[in-house]
Amino acid sequence: LSELEALMERMKRLQEDKEDDEASQEEMATRFEKEKKESLLVISGGICAFPHFAVLFSAFDDEIVSTDVSRYIEDPGFGYKDFARRGEDHLPTFRAQDYTWENHGFSLVNRLYSDIGHLLDEKFRMVYNLTYNTMATHEDVDTTTLRRALFNYVHCMYGIRYDDYDYGEVNQLLERSLKVYIKTVTCYPERTTKRMYDSYWRQFKHSEKVHVNLLLMEARMQAELLYALRAITRHLT
Higher-confidence position of 1 and 127: 127
Q: What is the DSSP letter of 118?
A: H
pTM > 0.75: yes or no: yes
138: three-class secondary structure by DSSP: strand
Q: What is the DSSP letter of 115?
A: T
Residue 149 makes CB contacts below 8 A (sequence gap 6+) with 169, 170, 173, 174
Map out the domains of the chain as residue ranges.
3-236
Q: What is the pLDDT of residue 190?
A: 83
Identity at 89, one-letter amino acid code = D
Planar angle of CA 171, 185, 181, nearest 5 degrees: 40
Distance, CA of 53 to CA of 236 (rounded, Å) = 44
Q: What is the pLDDT of residue 48?
A: 43
Q: Which helix (H) or strand (E) holds 188?
A: none
> Which residue in 148, 40, 41, 158 sits closest to 96, CA to CA?
158
Residue 8 and residue 1 in contact, taking contact as beta carbons nearer than 8 Å: no
Distance, CA of 225 to CA of 206 (rounded, Å) = 29
Distance, CA of 33 to CA of 161 (rounded, Å) = 9
The 10s digit of each residue's pLDDT in 7-18 is 999 999 998 887
The 10s digit of each residue's pLDDT in 9-67 is 999 999 888 767 778 889 999 999 999 989 888 865 443 434 444 334 444 444 545 55
- Mean of pLDDT values over 140-156: 96
Cα–chain center distance at 98: 20
Q: Which helix (H) or strand (E) holds 139?
A: strand 138-139
